[in-house]
Structures are given as structure tokens and as C-alpha cells.
Amino acid sequence: MDNNSVDGSVEMVRQKFPKVHIISNIENVGFSKANNQAIKIAQGEYILLLNPDTVVEEDTFSKIVDFMDAHSDAGGLGVKMIDGSGRFLPESKRGLPTPTVAFYKIFGLSALFPKSKTFGKYHLGYLDKDEVHEVEVLAGAFMVLRKSVLHKIGLLDEDFFMYGEDIDISYRIIKAGYKNYYFPETRIIHYKGESTKKSSVNYVFVFYNAMIIFARKHFSRKNAELFTFIIRIAIYLRAGAAIAIRFASRIFLPLLDVALLLAGMYFLKNYWSQNLGVNYPSDYILFVVPSYIFIWIISVYFSGGYDKPIRFEKIIRGLVTGTIFILVAYALLPETYRFSRAMLLMGSIWASIEMLSTRLLLNLFKLREFALDSNARKRLLIVGEEDEANRVLSLLKMSETSHNFIGFIPPPHSSPTNQKIQPSNLQPFFLGTIDKFKEIVQVYGIDEIIFCARDIASNNIINCMSTIAAKEVEYKIAPPESMFIIGSSSVNNAGELYVIDINSISSRKNKRNKRLMDILTSIFILLLSPFLFWFQRNPLRFFRNIFLTLSGKYAWVGYYKSENISTTQLPQIKNGVLSPIHAFKDSNLDEATLSRLNSLYAKDYHIYTDMNILRKGWKELGN
């Protein structure tokens, strides 16, 4: 079952597993409806709902079937889940979110007293996570359901789009006289992707509205109204907090720079006035200095100075560019509007000192958000055979990621060989055996570990992750014969995807540069529009495209699109007025060539590519 995914997984499954029955929806119909499509045609005694962002142990399925066979009263079953850092996920076992339980959860009492039988009922923190228990609610990420029970209670409720359906069906199982079991004798890794970012406003609204649907369906009218009231308060509080946190994280550093730059420029102006007798008009600090600061901040932003991790050369480049722009504009101004050039140059020096020293100080507090690029290189350990470890290193090198490779550990029942590996031999990087995994990680200060799935079983991977379950260590898995490495360290992180992209259009730098080019090009085209519109087939649409591109709804260049050419596997960008086809005189290209042009545009993007397409397709700007 596939809900219109864009990662090419449907095509991959069809090629590698042709006997598998795939339901491929042309739109995202939601978790419940899509799973019901599969349940209706399933032939087995048990149904397993399993998220795609999971890794299971080799014996997981045999263990859960044996348990269900041995417990005829079991209507549903969930397992022990860990996240991408090896930490236990408390949602592996949950209680029913009654109004009181929801109140304790929403207002933080369950977090303050997780082991309390009164306040800790949401995640049942008072139950041992390593023992089998009867629980009220199972997690939809891994939920085993007895098919005969589903015939009695009905399928997943399709009123729930993404969240809440697991709570609903768990409760219906109990009401029908069956039991839900938490079964920790097998484990899964649940990475949790973009759809479950708990800091997002979308998550807040979708999740809590699902809780309202559940309350109205199962609680009495009085309790449902109370529950709805509590949930609506939670929505406003959580959504407001999510917006505030996101805004603050993005604006904190620029605002700090503005405040310190303004204070510094004010001090310099007073010093210059008192010691050198230079007089400045009252409007200087109110209008001129803020203009300088605005240009410096914008220049630093577009040069990548606010990207993470922090790189000093990008900050300096942005300040130099901004200063040159100000000097050029300064030279073009009338004499009466030209203020002290010395103040401008001193201000640029202060801007450099302020921005570099501020980031150095923030970095001293070991905040990852303000890590310097030199400190951001992760100390990497690879667990796998020597040849596969070498392949993973090659992938990382081609994907242009920054790592400090410390060494590798061979998998269980293996030892480093003397086999010659091309292009290099990893023998000097052998750190020890897998039984010393924890000591090796601690001694060498490892903060990122990549497991080679070809060489090490899932249960061994999970054992290693559980040995060191810490935020500071990130775990990733390299599938065999694959060109990507996957992993995520927390629910708020969708995970890094290391792929071989030469210069992907989805990178932050390229998205920013592409947007900047669209704005500047739109202004330039607008200035030339009295001349250009005579050459356009559709002059009205020409002007419409200018303003749609300025507003950000369109881009001047995007993918070539048609009914027979799919771009779902490429990074998503705005629809373009022009496409790579406009760089060629011959527009009668076959579909395979057009697809390759789209792929090349996405994977090896340069701003000069857009400029070349615009230069050759300027008569088609009214498309």
C-alpha cells in the first residue's frame, strides 16, 4: 500500500519483488483508508500495521505470531520501540486518553511524574518496559491485529486521517472483550519522519483534532465536551509555542546581530563626534545606520552566513559584498547625502568583529545550533566488513558530507582481513571487535555510527544502539547495494539522507540563490517589459508571470512537466515559467531525454543554468 510517495519505493518493490501485491494510490488518502484497502484483500490470520520508517529484527515476525497463537484472548499486540538514537519510545505502551489523563499529559504532569500511577497513565510509565503487559492503547507504527477480531469490530475508522486511529481501534478491541498486549521480547527501530515532527504546527492541529474525534465517538457527551475544551486549550498553547519556538530559532541570531551592530555604530558615532569634532545629523542613527545594517544582514544571509553549521568565510564574504554595495551606492548619492565614509568602514570592521566573536562565544556553550563548521565534523565509526565500510566511505565522499572517519568494527563472527581494498585499505583503522562496542565509542568520542546492513543483523544493530542510548550519538544504516544512508536521531529530526548528488537543487544554498535570482530577474524583466512584451505570444500572461514569480508562487525556471513525465522522485520545487527544454533549439525531444534533463537540472544545479535558460527562452516568458 502506497499513499502517493515520491521516493521511488513503489518502482523499487515492483522490480525487486514482482510477486508482491502493491496498492498504489494516486493521492494521499490517509493512514486509515489506505490500510483498510490492504486489510480487505489480506488473506492471513493476522494483520500487521507497520510504518515505513521502521527496522525490525530478523525474528520479530515469528515471535509475535507465536505469542498471538498462544494467547487467544489477544486482539492486538505492540512491541518495544526505540528511536534513531537507541532510546526507548514511551509511546510503545499507552493508556486511554481520558479527560483527566489528557489533562495530566497536556499540562506536563505526566512528564514530571512519569512513574506515578495517577499522573503517568498516558505512557504507563509505572509499567516495566522490559516485561509483557496488558495495555489499553497500541502504537500504529507497529500493531498486530487478529483478523477475526476485525471482522467483529470493523476496520480502521476513516474519519481519522493520520493520528488517533490506533487509539480508536485499540479501545474497540477492549470493548469487544479482547486484550491488547505490550510485547517487549522483540524490538523495532522507529525513526519517525517528517510527518511526525512534534514541533510543527501541522502536527499540533492534526493530532489534537484526532483526539476530539475520538472523544466525541467514545465518551459521554459531558466528558466529550470537557475533553474537547481541554484539547482546544492545548491546541492554542502548543501551536503558539511551536510558532514562537520556530520563529525565535530563526530570528534570534539576526536580531542579536542587529542589536549589537546598532549599539556599536551608536558608540562609534559618539566617539567620532566627541574626539574628532565630526557632526552627524539627527537622522543618521535613525535612518542611515539601520540602512547599513540591513544591507549587511541581507548580504550575510544570502552568502550563507546564517546557515548551520556556521562558517566564518561565508560571514566575511557577505559583509564584504554588503560593504561594496554600500560604497557603490554611496558614490552615486548627491553630496548632501554623503555622510562619513570612515564611519562606514569602521562600521564594517565592527560588523566583522561582532559577528565572529558572537558566534565564537555561542559555540563555547556547546550548543549544536551554533556549532562552528570546524567543530561540526562528526567522529565517525562504521560497523561492517572492510569492503562494505570502504563503499560507505566512498558514498560519504561523493555526497560531500563532512566527517572525521575514526575507524571501523567488523560484525560479529568476523575479523578484519588482509584483503586489498580499492581505492584504500582500512586495516590501519580497525578499532576492535563488536563486543567492545561501548568502550570503543566512549574512548574515541564517537558521535556518529553507520551500520552496514549487509553485514550485521538488525537485532545486533538494535543491541548496539540500546547499549549507548544517548542524544550525543547518531546512528544510521547503510542498506546493501544502495546509494543512500538513512537515519534520524529524534522525533524532531526527519533524518539525514546521504545521497550522491553533485550539487542538488534541494540544498539550502541553492534554494536561497534560486529565489534571489528569481526576485532580481523579475525586477530586471519588469524594467525591460516595455520592450520585451512586444515579443511575447501572450503579453498579459507575461506580466502575470512577473508578479507571480516576485510573490514566490512561480519560479522562472522549473522542471519540464507533462502527463507522461514524472518528477515525483526529484526534489520538489516551484512550477517554472521555463524549463530545461528552453535551452535547446530542438524542442522535439523524446520523453527519456526530457526526464534526463529534469534529473540533471535537479542534481547538478547552478544559477548559471537558470541564466542560460532565460537567455535562450526570453521570448517564451509569457508561457
Instruction: Kindly report, residue by residue over 14-40, the tens digit of the pLDDT.
Output: 777 788 888 877 777 777 788 888 888
Classify strands 179-190 and 403-409 as parallel, antiparallel or unpaired: unpaired
Nearest alpha carbon to residue 233 among 264, 200, 211: 211
Nearest alpha carbon to residue 212 among 245, 244, 235, 178: 235
User: Would you state the pLDDT for residue 295?
Assistant: 93
- Model confidence at 393: pLDDT above 70: yes
d(CA 573, CA 553): 10
* CA distance between the termini of the chain: 38
Instruction: Confirm if 149 and 176 have CB atoms less than 8 A apart.
Output: yes
Instruction: Kindly report, residue by residue over 255-300, the tens digit of the pLDDT.
Output: 999 999 999 999 988 888 887 777 777 778 888 889 999 999 999 9
What is the helix (H) or strand (E) element at residue 283, kind and residue range?
A: helix 283-283
pTM: 0.66
DSSP E strand boundaries for 324-396? 378-383
User: Would you state the pLDDT for residue 185?
Assistant: 94
Which of the two residues, 383 and 470, has the higher pLDDT score?
383
Instruction: Confirm if 95 and 124 have CB atoms less than 8 A apart.
Output: yes
Distances in whole angstroms, Cα of residue 192 to Cα of each of 486, 487, 495 = 12, 10, 9
Amino acid identity of residue 5, one-letter, is S
d(CA 425, CA 98): 60
- Model confidence at 172: pLDDT above 70: yes
For 295-323, the DSSP string reads: HHHHHHHHTTTTSSSB-HHHHHHHHHHHH
d(CA 602, CA 580): 10
- Model confidence at 399: pLDDT above 70: no
Backbone angles phi, psi at 274, to 5 degrees: -75, -35
Q: Give me 53's grid cell.
A: 520508517
Q: Give me 54's grid cell.
A: 521502521
| Cα dihedral 52, 54, 59, 65 in deg (nearest 10) | -60
User: Would you state the pLDDT for residue 279?
Assistant: 77
Which of the two residues, 291 and 470, has the higher pLDDT score?
291
d(CA 310, CA 167): 43
User: Would you state the pLDDT for residue 592?
Assistant: 74
User: What mean pLDDT do residues 98-107 have?
Assistant: 80
Amino acid identity of residue 442, one-letter, is Q
User: Would you state the pLDDT for residue 498?
Assistant: 44
User: Which DSSP letter does residue 288 get?
Assistant: I
Residue 496: which pLDDT band, with cuts at 50, 70 and 90?
very low
As a 3-state breakdown, the chain gives helix, strand, coil percent values, each rounded to 5, of: 50, 15, 35
Instruction: Kindly report, residue by residue over 402-454, the tens digit of the pLDDT.
Output: 678 888 898 887 644 444 444 445 677 888 888 889 889 888 888 889 999 88
Highest mean pLDDT among 276-280, 318-322, 375-379, 490-494: 318-322
Which of helix, strand or coil describes residue 500?
coil
Which of helix, strand or coil describes residue 240?
helix
Residues in the chain: 623
Instruction: Confirm if 130 and 119 have CB atoms less than 8 A apart.
Output: no
d(CA 417, CA 400): 28
Instruction: Confirm if 545 and 623 have CB atoms less than 8 A apart.
Output: yes
Instruction: Kindly report, residue by residue over 68-91, the tens digit of the pLDDT.
Output: 999 999 999 999 998 888 889 998
Instruction: Confirm if 423 and 356 have CB atoms less than 8 A apart.
Output: no
User: Would you state the pLDDT for residue 8?
Assistant: 61
Instruction: Confirm if 544 and 579 have CB atoms less than 8 A apart.
Output: no
Distances in whole angstroms, Cα of residue 144 to Cα of each of 23, 57, 59, 61, 211 = 20, 15, 15, 10, 22
The 3-state secondary structure of 546-596 reads HHHHHHCCCEEECCCCECCECCCCCCCCCCEEECHHHHCCCCCCCHHHHHH
- Model confidence at 238: pLDDT above 80: no
Provide the β-strand partners of residue 404: 379
Which of the two residues, 393 and 309, has the higher pLDDT score?
393
As a whole number of Å, the CA-based R_g of the chain is 29
d(CA 31, CA 160): 8
Residue with cell string 522549473:
558
Domains of the chain: 2-93+129-219 (3.90.550.10), 247-370 (no CATH), 377-499 (3.40.50), 508-620 (no CATH)
